[in-house]
């Protein structure tokens, strides 16, 4: 059994990873300011420390007291379009929070960190599928912020003996097959939940962003990877840091699906039409993003277990139908605060 700190563990990918760690018997402390995350997404067995990563003194105190075997770092701003409007906030927050977190970890003697990174590092790719040797060239401040964070952490590898892995996610999608967790963003910008909401009458008609791409049906192609498979990749890669000081992996299913194929899958799964309108391209969207997951498979034995498109859409649909308003919004949390095991009086 190991003990992990999970920043952003109340968020979408973070909470599914927390669940996977708990199921394996590990101890988990979640650090989340609940700006985007949900208190109800943190299982009872995990401790929740409700603080902002920018609060460096308290982050240091958590690290010092926690005696963690490693950190999974999910907490970040993560919307490409928003980053085009607020580039400096994205850079300052994502880069600064990551590097100060690593500094606190190194000081506390915690030397393993897995970073939640992104396909946005590759910008408009030269070739498909995208492997780890593909040219890096972010075309958004969001992608740039993750690349800068990676580069900063590489210096901690060289000079502080940090062991660091970066997981470049493609499109995380789906929900816990056990129905315990799902995807709940506000505002929701992602394709699958927007299409499901439209089919269920819970949201406006879906807008297809661009029908004139150079793809077989004219809509953009993405690589959708089930969030539970993504969580599994995190656990495997953290294990890998026992052997390697620094590594990076692209995490995707290796298969591409167009926006229209997603709409068709939602209609199959829900049995309802997806009301939609065709709109212009969304700025910054590359036409095709598909991962090569060969390195991840080879090094860690990872395989997608929920990779079928209808499985991904089906689990997302089941969660949303069971939770039409998303996670319950629990405001006060005195009972939760009492369970926090670390001294936070800094
Ligand atoms: N799309 C629509 N309508 C919508 C939402 C999305 O047509 O309402 C389209 C997008 O244009 C895109 C595809 O559906 O072609 C997928 O869009 P998402 O917003 O679901 O996901 P992205 O591919 O834009 O974003 C993902 C990750 C980001 C990462 C980015 C890299 O969520 O973190 O890939 O480009 F940065």
For 321-336, what is the mean pLDDT?
77
Judge whether residue 343 has pLDDT over 70.
no
Pocket test for ligand 1, best of 191, 214, 220, 256 (most atoms within 8 A of CB): 191
d(C-alpha 153, C-alpha 91), whole Å: 15
Residue nearest to atom 19 of ligand 1 (CA): 190
Residue nearest to atom 25 of ligand 1 (CA): 171
The one catalytic residue in 142, 213, 224, 249 is 142
Q: How confident is the model at residue 329, as a pLDDT?
A: 82
Judge whether residue 198 has pLDDT over 70.
yes
Is the Cβ atom of 211 under 6 angstroms away from ligand 1?
Answer: no
Express each pLDDT in 128-178 by its tens digit.
Answer: 999 999 999 999 999 999 999 999 999 999 999 999 999 999 999 999 999
Judge whether residue 95 has pLDDT over 90.
yes
Q: How confident is the model at residue 331, as a pLDDT?
A: 64
Judge whether residue 244 has pLDDT over 70.
yes
Express each pLDDT in 19-44 by its tens digit.
Answer: 999 999 999 999 999 999 999 999 99
For 318-326, what is the mean pLDDT?
97
Is the Cβ atom of 197 under 6 angstroms away from ligand 1?
Answer: no
d(C-alpha 18, C-alpha 5), whole Å: 9
Residue nearest to atom 10 of ligand 1 (CA): 209
Express each pLDDT in 53-80 by its tens digit.
Answer: 999 999 999 999 999 999 999 999 999 9
Judge whether residue 97 has pLDDT over 60.
yes
- Is 142 one of the catalytic residues? yes
d(C-alpha 102, C-alpha 73), whole Å: 10
Is the Cβ atom of 282 under 6 angstroms away from ligand 1?
Answer: yes
Judge whether residue 194 has pLDDT over 50.
yes
- For helices 259-270 and 309-322, the axis angle rounded to 10 degrees is 60
Express each pLDDT in 245-299 by its tens digit.
Answer: 999 999 999 999 999 999 999 999 999 999 999 999 998 789 999 999 999 999 9
For 44-49, what is the mean pLDDT?
97
Domain boundaries, the chain: 3-327
For 212-233, what is the mean pLDDT?
98
Mean pLDDT of the chain: 94
Q: How confident is the model at residue 317, as a pLDDT?
A: 98
Q: What is the CA 342 to chain-centroid distance, rounded?
A: 26
Fold of 3-327: Rossmann fold (3.40.50)
């Amino acid at each position: 059994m190991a003990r992990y700190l999970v920043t952003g563990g109340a968020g979408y990918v973070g909470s599914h990873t927390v669940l996977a760690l708990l199921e394996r018997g590990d101890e988990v402390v979640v650090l989340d300011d609940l700006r985007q995350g949900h208190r109800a997404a943190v299982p009872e067995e995990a401790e929740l420390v409700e603080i902002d990563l920018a609060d460096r003194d308290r982050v240091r105190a958590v690290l010092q007291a926690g005696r963690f075997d490693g950190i999974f770092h999910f907490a970040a701003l993560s919307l490409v379009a928003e980053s085009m409007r607020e580039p400096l906030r994205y850079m300052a927050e994502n880069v600064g929070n990551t590097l100060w977190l690593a500094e606190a970890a190194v000081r506390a003697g915690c030397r393993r960190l897995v970073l939640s990174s992104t396909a946005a590092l590759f910008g408009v790719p030269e070739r498909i599928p995208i492997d780890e040797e593909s040219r890096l060239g972010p075309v958004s401040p969001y992608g740039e912020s993750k690349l800068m964070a990676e580069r900063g952490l590489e210096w901690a590898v060289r000079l502080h003996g940090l062991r660091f892995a970066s997981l470049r996610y493609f499109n995380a999608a789906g929900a816990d097959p056990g129905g315990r967790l799902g995807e709940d963003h506000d505002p929701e910008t992602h394709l699958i939940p927007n299409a499901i909401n439209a089919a269920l009458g819970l949201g406006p008609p879906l807008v297809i962003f661009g029908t004139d791409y150079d793809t077989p049906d004219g809509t953009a192609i993405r690589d959708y990877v089930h969030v539970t498979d993504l969580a599994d990749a995190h656990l495997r890669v953290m294990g890998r840091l026992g052997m390697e000081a620094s590594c990076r992996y692209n995490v995707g299913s290796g298969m591409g699906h167009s926006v229209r194929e997603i709409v068709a899958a939602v209609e199959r799964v829900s049995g309802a039409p997806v009301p939609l309108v065709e709109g212009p391209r969304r700025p910054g969207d590359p036409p095709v993003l598909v991962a090569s997951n060969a390195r991840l498979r080879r090094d860690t034995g990872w395989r997608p277990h929920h990779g079928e498109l209808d499985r991904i859409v089906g689990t997302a649909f089941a969660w949303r139908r069971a939770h039409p308003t998303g996670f319950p919004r629990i405001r006060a949390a005195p009972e939760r605060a009492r369970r926090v095991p670390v001294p936070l009086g800094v």
